[in-house]
Amino acid sequence: MLLSLAVMSAVAQISLAQLDTTSCGKSKGCLFAPQGCNSNPSSCQITMSYVMNGTDMVFELQGKPPSGGYMAIGFSYDMTMGNDSVSLCYQDNELLGYNEGKTFVSQATATTRHMLEAFTATNGETYCRIRRGISGNGNPMVFNLDMPYTIFLAHGPMNNGAPGYHQMNKWMLPQTAVTAYSVAGGFNPSTTAMPGSSMAPGGASSAPGGATTAPTPVMTTTKKNGADAAVSLFGCAAVALAVFSLTR
C-alpha cells in the first residue's frame, strides 16, 4: 500500500512538472526565446534552465515542439551549428548525441550519466528535466561542461527515433557557463568568464556589504537564416554579448 502511494505521488509530481521561472537569476540560470518572451513565459517557444548539482548538471526545457517532437540543447565551441555536443528529450525519452556537421550521432554508449528525470506534455506545452554528468569521461563527442559554450536551443520532429530537421525553430545564445549556478551555493561569478574575457552587461554585481547578486536580464540579437530573431537571457552567465550571424 505504501509503495503504491509513493508511486502515485511520484507520477503526480512528474505530471505537474513545469519550469519555475521565479527562481531564474536566483538559484538557477535561465534562457528564453524568442525576444521579450520572459515577460510572458507562456509565449516562449523554448525555455531552458540550468543548475549544477554535485558532479551533474540539471537542465530543464519547456517549449512548444511539434506533437511527439524533441527539444534540444547544443553546446558549441563556435557560433555555427555542427560539431556540437547535444542533450535532448522527447516523448518521455532522452538522447545524448553529437552533431557531426548536420547529422545527429547518438552517444548512447557513452559512460557519461544522461537520464530523464521528468517529462510531461499537455495542451501543446512540453516539459522535461535532464540530468547530465559534467564530465565527458574522455569522449571527444561528449563535451566537458565545466567551461563556457555557445548554447543552441531548438525543437523539431522525431523521425524513426532520431531528431529531424528543426527548420526555423533554432536560437543561438552567447557563450554561457552553465556551472555558474549550483544547488549548493547559488550564483558563482568566478565561473562566468574565460581568461582574458570581460563580463558582459548583466553579469554579477556587488550588493551592499560585499554580497554578490545574480545577473540582471540581458537581451541579445541573433540572426536565424537571415531573418532577425532575438533571445532573452535571464540569469545567463554570458562572457560575450554581440550581434551574431547563424548559418545553417
Which tens digit of pLDDT belongs to each residue from 47-92? 999 999 999 999 999 999 999 999 999 999 999 989 999 999 999 9
Mean pLDDT, residues 10-20: 57
H helix and E strand count, the chain: 1, 19
Which pLDDT value is given to residue 114? Answer: 98
For the record, the C-alpha cell of 62 comes out as 519547456
Binned at pLDDT 50, 70 and 90, residue 186 comes out as confident
Helix or strand or coil: residue 34? coil
Find all residues with CB under 8 Å of 51, minimum gap 6, and list them: 27, 28, 29, 57, 58, 181, 182, 183
List, in order of start, the domains of the chain with CATH numbers.
19-234 (2.60.40)
pLDDT of residue 167: 85
* Coil, helix or strand at residue 15: helix
* For range 224-247, the mean pLDDT: 38
| pLDDT of 40 | 84
* Grid coordinates given for 93: 525519452
More confident residue, 196 or 109: 109
Instruction: Tell me the three state secondary structure of residue 166.
Output: coil
> For residues 244 and 36, which has the higher predicted lDDT (pLDDT)?
36
Closest Cα to residue 32, out of 4, 9, 60? 60
Q: Is the pLDDT of residue 20 over 60?
A: yes
Most distant CA pair in the chain, distance = 59
Count other Cβ atoms within 10 Å, centred on residue 120. Answer: 16
How many CA atoms lie less than 13 Å away from 61 in the CB half-sphere?
Answer: 31
Please tell me the predicted confidence (pLDDT) of residue 5.
42
pLDDT tens string 153-178: 999 999 988 999 898 889 998 789 99
Q: Which of 9-18, 28-37, 223-232 has the lowest mean pLDDT?
A: 223-232
E-state strands within the chain: 29-33, 46-53, 56-63, 70-76, 84-90, 93-100, 103-106, 114-122, 125-133, 149-156, 158-159, 162-163, 170-176, 181-182, 186-187, 205-206, 212-213, 218-224, 227-234
pTM: 0.75
Share the mean pLDDT of the chain: 76
pLDDT tens-digit profile of 110-165?
999 999 999 999 988 999 999 999 999 999 999 999 999 999 999 999 998 899 98
Half-sphere exposure (Cβ direction) of 133: Cα atoms closer than 13 Å: 13
